[in-house]
Amino acid sequence: MPRTIPRYVLPPSKIRVPRWLAVISGIAGSVLGVATNLYSAEFRNAISSTGHAFTATVISIVIAAVGASTVTLLTYYWLVKRQQHQNEILPGQIPITADVLRLVDDEQDSVVGRRLHFLEAKRSSEELVIFLHGLGLDANDFRSYMAESKYHCIALTLFGFNVSEATDDHYKPISLQTHVQLLAFFLSTLRQLYPHKRLTLVGFSLGADAFLLLPQFAPKTTRELQISRVLLLDPNISRSTTTLSARVAAVQPATPLTELLKILEGADNIPEFRILCEYLHKITSKNFAQVQRHARDVVAIWDAESPDRFLDRLGQLTAAVREVDVVVSFDYERYFNAIGRGAVARGLRLGGLESSRQGHFDLITAQSLRERLSGLPQAR
């Protein structure tokens, strides 16, 4: 799999050498000190007996001491470099080959020859955690958690949602169905690369919707992936939860500022206003036509006021994977009871259903993700 050459490494201030490195270095230094004391008398005798000329015994002692010091330094250097590597987040890409045509149904969407971009924090963990962002966002939204996580983490940026693709005519808007089928292609490629790792999928907002839609648009691939766990953070429940997507979808190219300002007017307080400003700044730096197409398709697919469509798709997902957890933010709290009752009535096998005290965008902070992924097996 081709990988990009540039590497992102956390600044030195973020790289902390653990205490156990100092312990190992101290032990190595102590061993060297003991060795020196043991041979010190022999060393002095050898020098005095030869009149400052180095004998074979002296040379062997010097070589042993230098060798021990070198091993200590090299060990410490290797351990430090290993710790730094654990904190690296590397950009990568997967080429979209003709093989994807077995999954992509829409003849109007041209995707072959392009690439899917991702960020990876590769670690010696049996858990592979894959993140998917919300509308108009990208893999960077999970960077803070990935930097500190003990798990092997990969965050995907959806087709055409990179800033570098904003003005690239090769990345024209594609349907939501094709986005989900490209996601299936991406997951299938990772499964081939890491066949023995347990897959945990974490989707936020429309990223959670995409995971929900996997059994509908790529049923065979979804079953073959053998997914261990899916964590859905604020998925859309009904038409009522697509308010932000509907506003983005309604932006008119002729008067974009008017519509975007209306989105800001929907803020209930200063913190929410600030979050919306940051969000709009981010999505307007992308291919806005791509963002709008995505938003319109989402609004169209969640076309009912009841949570029945959501529960139907949730049932399909629970049948295809081992465990599904749903977290509803404080913003979606009014839908929680309906989801809970509906899940029980349908006999859905959920790993967990949580009504969080956090806001929508708070669900993807490092602390929030750390708490919800803490139950995964630890890295070796």
* Dihedral sign (CA 358, 364, 370, 376): positive
64 vs 153, more confident? 153
Q: What is the largest CA-CA distance in the chain?
A: 98
Report the C-alpha gap between 304 and 103 in whole angstroms: 28
pLDDT grade, residue 63 (50/70/90)?
Answer: low
Neighbours of 283 (CB within 10 A): 21
Rounded mean pLDDT, 340-358: 93
Q: What is the dihedral of CA 305, 319, 376, 225, to 10 degrees?
A: -110
Query: Residue 12's pLDDT is what?
Result: 39
Bridge-based pairing state of the strands 127-132 and 115-121? unpaired
CA 100 to chain centre: 23
pLDDT of residue 56 exceeding 60: no
Q: What order of strands is seen across the sheet that includes strand 127-132?
A: 90-95, 115-121, 152-157, 127-132, 198-204, 227-233, 323-328, 352-355
Q: What do you get for the CA distance between the two ends of the chain, in Å? A: 25
CATH for 90-373, options being 3.40.50.1010, 3.40.50.1820, 3.40.640.10, 3.20.20.140: 3.40.50.1820
Predicted confidence (pLDDT) per residue in 107-149, tens digit: 999 999 999 999 999 999 999 999 999 999 999 999 999 999 9
d(CA 140, CA 136): 12
**Residue 62 pLDDT greater than 70, yes or no:** no
Q: Where are the domains of the chain?
A: 15-85, 90-373
- The vertex-134 CA angle with 231 and 331, nearest 5°, equals 75
Give the per-residue pLDDT at 249.
92
* Identity of residue 99: D
Average pLDDT, the chain: 83
Considering only 85-94, 133-142, 216-225, 273-282, which range has the smallest mean pLDDT? 85-94
The whole-number average pLDDT for the span 222-230 is 96
Residue 195: exposure state from Cβ atoms within 10 A (0-12, 13-18, ≥19): exposed
The predicted structure's pLDDT at residue 303: 87
**Residue 49: its pLDDT value, please?**
60
Q: Rounded to the nearest 5 degrees, what angle is found at the Cα of 115, between the Cα atoms of 316 and 82?
A: 90
Residue 71, both tokens: 């091993």
Contacts of 167-174 with C-beta under 8 Å, sequence gap 24+, read 167/287, 168/287, 170/113, 170/114, 171/114, 171/287, 171/290, 172/110, 172/289, 172/290, 173/287, 173/289, 173/290, 173/292, 173/293, 173/294, 174/106, 174/109, 174/111, 174/290, 174/293
pLDDT bucket at 197, cuts 50 / 70 / 90: very high
Q: What is the pLDDT of residue 272?
A: 80
* Inter-residue contact 139 to 155 (CB < 8 Å): yes
Residue 29 pLDDT > 70: no
Helix (H, G, I), strand (E, B) or coil at 133: coil
Token pair 């990345």 in the structure block, residue: 171
- Quick one: pLDDT at residue 375? 74
Distance from C-alpha of 130 to C-alpha of 118, rounded to nearest angstrom: 10
